[in-house]
Amino acid sequence: MKKTDERVIYWLKIAEHDYETMLGLFKLKRYADSLFYGHMVLEKN
């Protein structure tokens, strides 16, 4: 596997983690923090 492919896979895994964090924060009604993580997910995808 090329280094670029490994980096893309890593980046997508981090985006998935950020998405789960966003959902958790939203359920806790921490909307500003949730929005921040949502923005990060969009930038990574």
Q: What is the pLDDT of residues 5-38, one digit of tens each?
A: 899 999 999 999 999 999 999 999 999 999 999 9
Q: What is the DSSP letter of 1?
A: -
Structure tokens at 11: 């980046």
Question: Could you give the residue ranges of the DSSP H alpha helices within the chain?
Answer: 3-27, 31-44
The predicted structure's pLDDT at residue 45: 85
Do 18 and 37 meet the contact criterion of CB atoms below 8 Å apart?
yes
pLDDT above 90 for 4: no
The predicted structure's pLDDT at residue 28: 99
Q: Tell me, rounded to whole angstroms, the distance of Cα 32 from its chain centroid.
A: 15
Residue 2, phi-psi category: left (phi > 0), alpha (psi -120 to 50), beta (remainder): beta
Do 22 and 41 meet the contact criterion of CB atoms below 8 Å apart?
yes
The predicted structure's pLDDT at residue 3: 87
The predicted structure's pLDDT at residue 1: 64
